[in-house]
Structure 1
Amino acid sequence: MSSETKSYFCVAEGCNSDERKRGRYGYMKDVRFYPFPTQKRAPALRKRWLDLLRRENYEPKRNHRVCSLHFKEGRPTENHPYPELFAYNNFKESLKMRSTTSISKREQCMVKDTQFDISVPPRVDSPAASESVLQTQINNDNSLFVAGVSGELNGSWPVNQEIEVTDHECPTVGSLSVTGTHVEMDHCYISGSFCSNDMSTRDIGIQTTLTTADIKVLEEKSTKLEDPEKLMRELFVNKVVKDDKNVQMYTGLPSKTILNGVYDILEKASPTLKYWSGQGSAAKKKYQKDSLNAKSGPKRKLSRFQEFVLTLVRLRLALTTFVMADLFGVSTSRVSQVFTTWINFMFTIFKPLLKWPSRNVLKKFMPSSFRAKFPNVNCIIDCTEFFIKKPRNPTAQSQTFSSYKHHNTYKALVGVSPSGAFSFISNLWGGNVSDRYITKESGFLDNIQPGDEIMADRGFLIRDLLLHRRAKLIIPPFTRKCSWGKGKYLSASEILRTRNIAKFRIHVERAIGRLKTFHMLSNTMPTNLKPLADQMLVICAFLCNLQKPLVKK
């Protein structure tokens, strides 16, 4: 059957050569189609052709051909009797053309050298592929060396042949002018933006140091990243612990060293964690007993350190469970479970570390400013409030409504040492409870010893409670009614004492300010976190104590 049948087309993967395009597209004029060797005359050669096509369960039909673009010499020859140039072996032709700005100059480009030299490139998937590729060059004197010869299937194909190239157009990307005709590669193995006949493209060079084996190695590495969520949480945790500044912003701890130190304490405190998933959920469960992980249920996705970071980041930034789940690549329920578990666990470890200092410790670390004015003060107290979501129960609404904040709040009594470290944190009470009531019922008075001095604001009417323990209350003097008219006044000595007390009492307010840099406490607390409110307050106070002292020694 003649090779000029109009229904022939190339069956190579990615090739668009079709005999029906010959009349419509100029680049198809010199493309030839070669039939498969027959099973009867050349079975081995036919099998080799089929193997090179890499098409599973493929059997050629009558109109199936392989075009001349896939042969190293443009057609089957004695040295290269089968197609070898395909998309899978990264075949590329490097074209370098001289930049011309005039259309007339491009039309006048002519090839003067008629010596045609065919150089056979090595296999692209061989180690030498990166150093030797099939090239077509247009020299400065307009001489053209073309790799590839068009021909008919006539049974005799010489390896080397001289061809004179006469008047033609300058070749564009993917096209070559041979023997006065326009030959264009209908498929090129570079990006689509370069596979264009736009003459604005001036100079083209394609070079790669990657072989097929290198690409396969990269593909294997990419397939290992089957869990993008794991990659995301590793990147986020690495960003959190990148430097001291990031640690401070994300966790509230002053440095990466302290972050690792706190984690080491927690890791040694308990080898296993019983994860919370409801009341009584951790009572009877079988736990994983490997060296790194110990938890019930499915295999752990987050490492212990990642869970620790998750808890601190949420405590510091008050991010929702949805955002935390997105950052760590887990479910929202898992975030809640991890956060609840670690908050209770850290509370158990940190609560005993918030100790009331002894007198010897106070004297050793007391700032010189305190030692000069108030040498016997061992605690500065104040109450602070935290906004909560309005309860549904009317009784709870009444108990938590603060007339001072005009909002539903929790109230806690905090005490700091003269250096500014938290030494006492009470449980949370409703916002309508008085300061005196919290001081009396919170257990604060149990720490008072005879001779102690407690500094507070005027609102703490607890002088009688301290007198029972032979302690002294230091508060600013109250104003007195003027005997000579309306209004109230303070004497000069009382004004000076008020200033001195206010100067030192401000440290407890600064400590509370540090406490509220943890946005889980400064923001309005949601209802579902109310059971963790006491624990979060203690943990935040302990983390604040790890920062630099508020008062210089």
Structure 2
Amino acid sequence: MVHTCVVAGCKNRRTPGTRLSFYRFPRDPERKQRWVAAVNRAGWVPNDGSRLCSTHFISGKQVKNPHSPDYVPSVFTPVPFFPDMKEPGALEILDKQEARVEAANALLFLQGQGSSAVDGPSQGGRHEKEAPEAAVEKTGSSSFSTDEDEEHDEASERDRKKGKFAQMSEISVNFDDILKALKKENRALRESVEKMALSENAFRNDAEKVKFYTGLPNYFVLETVMWLLAPHMDGMKNTKLSKFQQLLLTLMRLRLDLRNQDLGYRFGVKVGTVAKTVHRMVNIMSSTLVPTAVFWPSRAELRKNLPTALRASHPDCAVIVDCFTVPLEEPASTVTEHGQQETTLPRAEGMPHSHGSLKYLIGVAPQGVVTFVSRGAPGSVSDRSLAEGCGFLCKLLPGDVVLACRDLDIADSVAARGALFKIAGKGEARARSEGSPGPDATSETAVVQRHVERVISMVKQRYTMLTGPIESPFSTACERTSNLSTFDKIVQVACALNNLCISAVPLE
């Protein structure tokens, strides 16, 4: 049965888990009347179900000793009640109860001294010495003189709690050691998270990590690229990714050829955000980084840094050229209205459906850096048409030597610019405009072939997205004002980033 305190303004109830005690009104008429008067409710008469809670007694419980202050309830200070108010802890309740008991014992001691003085001097000495002990003993015995069904439960509960706290106090725990261990564990976890995180701090002192994820040789080069691109990234609205993370995401796309969904999981963003970020960053790098890193050097600069392997045989070599192709994405099959499958190939802007690859002309300086790369053309286009349509011939000066390790069928076009086209390793110079043979050696062919293959393979190995197949969203022109597809820009950006690394060909 749930009991509620009858005192006006007191909303204490006897519910499971409460630490309060509730007492019946005394059967003694005189004491009962004193309780009713203390409650001070006009015209109210208690019944068998009326209860008074223990908060209205000084010691927290009723006492049947007429000399005790808790013989009649006396604590009626109005205290506002809040349902969500947290109950005091067990230790706090025990401290308050002990303080109240001490106060009651002190009052009984004073009352005992007063009564002994009235009894007369005949019992003076001995009675005065025994009075405090008797008072305390009497109070202690009277503290259990309450209703059996409630006081026994309260005493056993209090004893149980005291025993529990005594047991806990006996256990000695070194909290300093525990705190040190937790701090050490927290530090280790933070370091582990920072190593796995795709942030600047995770790459700052780890050159191998920079090289693996970006293809760049160290963090200094990565930071330089970031410094160059940052002013052009201010207009990009992306609250999820920082500028560094946008650059890192794009480089990881080019370097490892990771799919958008994979990058979305790694960076905690949506697939659409990854696609937009890659396209925006490629456009920024194409307009900012490519003109800075991919350029045609002056003739004096070429002569000054000409490698030893070509200095004797081709001192006027301006560029070594070759072509490479990248396959397009696999054809997608669609079902026609007649139930037959029709194959559709993704294509670049202006490319017929019958072609399944893109062809690029790449020019490499004798020092091993990329100095020219064309836009993508259909895979079946001739080398001559590609060279004449991409602007490569405009870079040549009269007297320049264009070197190749195989026949590209561009000798006539090169001769029209006053330059010479030579195929290393053949018995003749392949300069059709003059028709004069040139020196040849087997070792020369091997040197030039290794030189070109090393540079092109290094670009492809460093940025595996160039190995294909090209996904359809990258093979179409993204801007009407530009005839470059997104993949054309990716090829140029990859060559620019490759030029920031150590050259594939040593100077000596």
Deviations 1:288-328 (A, max 9, x none): xxxxxxx4xxx733222222222222221222222222222
Tell whether the 8 Å contact from 1:380 to 1:455 is kept in structure 2 after alignment. Answer: yes
Shift of 1:415: 0.7
Task: Name the residue aligned to 2:189.
Answer: none
Pick aligned residue for 2:229 from 260, 266, 269:
266
Distance 1:272 1:78, change over 3 A: closer
Distance in 1 between residues matched to 2:493 and 2:466, nearest whole Å: 11
Gapped regions of structure 2 (runs ≥ 5): 2-13, 20-52, 58-72, 103-139, 145-158, 184-192, 333-342, 429-436, 477-485
**Matched letter for residue 356 of structure 1:** W
Equivalent residues of 1:401, 1:430 under 8 A apart: no
Change (3 A) 1:467 1:235: closer
How many Å separate the matches in 2 of 1:188 and 1:413?
85
1:329 alignment partner, one of 268, 277, 280? 268
Give 2:225's aligned amino acid: V
Structure 1 residue 246: Cα displacement: 1.2
Alignment RMSD? 4.6
Q: Is the CA contact (8 Å cut-off) linking 1:232 and 1:327 kept in structure 2?
A: no
Residue correspondence of structure 1 range 85-484 to structure 2 within 5 A: 155=143, 185=164, 205-209=172-176, 235-268=198-231, 270=232, 272-273=234-235, 275=236, 295=237, 300-353=239-292, 354-391=294-331, 408-476=356-424
Instruction: Give the whole-Å Cα distance in 2 for the aligned partners of 1:520 and 1:186.
Output: 68
- Partner of residue 494, structure 2: 540
Helix, strand or coil at the partner of 1:440? helix
- Alignment deviations for residues 384-406 of structure 1 (CA, whole Å, 9 cap, x no partner): 1222203457586795777xxxx
Structure 1 Cα separation of the partners of residues 345 and 244 of structure 2: 42
Bigger shift: residues 523-532 or 389-398: 389-398
Asked whether the 8 Å contact 2:328–2:470 carries over to 1, the reply is yes
CA drift of 1:337 comes to: 1.6
Taking the aligned partners of 1:470 and 1:153, their CA distance within structure 2 comes to 125
How far off its partner does 1:467 sit? 2.0
Q: Which residue of 1 aligns with 2:74?
A: 41
Q: TM-score, normalised by structure 1?
A: 0.54
Distance 1:433 1:425 in 2: 16
- Going from structure 1 to structure 2, the CA distance change for 1:204 and 1:189 (only over 3 Å counts) comes to closer
* Distance in 1 separating the partners of 2:465 and 2:286: 15
Larger radius of gyration: 2
Shift in Å, 1:430: 1.7
Greater Cα offset, 542-551 or 460-469: 460-469
**Using a 3 Å threshold, how does the CA distance of structure 1 residues 247 and 506 change in structure 2: closer, same or farther?**
same
Q: Does the 8 Å CA contact 1:357/1:423 hold for their aligned counterparts?
A: yes
Name the count of aligned residue pairs.
Answer: 355
Residue 520 of structure 1 aligns with an amino acid whose one-letter code is M
Maintained 8 Å contact 2:426/2:440: no
| Alpha-carbon separation, structure 2, partners of 1:447 and 1:499 | 29
1:497 equivalent among 425, 441, 445: 441
Matching of residues 1-80 of structure 1 within 5 Å: 10-11=17-18, 36-38=54-56, 41-43=74-76, 56=84, 70=91, 76-78=97-99
Decide whether the 8 Å contact of 1:233 with 1:328 is kept in 2: no
Question: What are the ranges of 5 or more consecutive residues in structure 1 without an aligned counterpart?
Answer: 2-6, 13-34, 60-65, 82-151, 157-178, 191-202, 219-229, 276-294, 403-407, 481-492
- 1:70 CA displacement: 4.1
CA distance in 1, matches of 2:168, 2:495: 64
**Cα contact 1:386–1:521 (8 A) shared by 2:** yes
Query: What SS does the aligned partner of 1:337 have?
Result: helix
Relative distance call for 1:496 and 1:235 in structure 2 (3 A) is closer
**Are residues 430 and 523 of structure 1, via their aligned partners in 2, closer, same or farther at CA, if it must alter by over 3 Å?**
same
Distance of aligned partners of 1:330 and 1:461 in 2 relative to their CA distance in 1, 3 Å threshold: same
- 1:510 correspondence with 2:473: no
- Correspondent of 2:471 among 523, 526, 551: 526
- Distance between the aligned counterparts of 1:80 and 1:424, measured in 2? 97
Aligned-pair CA distance for 1:464: 1.8
- Deviation, 1:422, is 0.2
Distance in 2 of aligned mates of 1:542 and 1:307: 18
1:401–1:431: 8 Å Cα contact kept in structure 2? no
Asked if the contact 1:72/1:80 (under 8 Å) is kept, the reply is no
Code of the residue aligned with 2:230 in structure 1: it is: E
Tell me how far 1:424 sits from its aligned partner. 0.6
Q: Deviations over 1:445-469 (max 9, x none)?
A: 1112111111113231222222222
Q: Given the superposition, is the C-alpha separation of residues 247 and 80 from structure 1 closer, same or farther in structure 2, using an over 3 Å criterion?
A: farther
More helix by share: 2
In structure 2, C-alpha distance between the alignment counterparts of 1:153 and 1:391, rounded to whole Å: 98
TM-score (norm 2): 0.59
Give % identity: 26
Aligned partners of 1:426 and 1:442 also within 8 Å: yes
Alignment partner, residue 108 of structure 2: none
d(CA) in 1 for partners of 2:448, 2:469: 30
1:218-244 per-position Cα deviation (integer Å, ceiling 9, x unaligned): 9xxxxxxxxxxx999965443244422
Shift of 1:9: 5.5
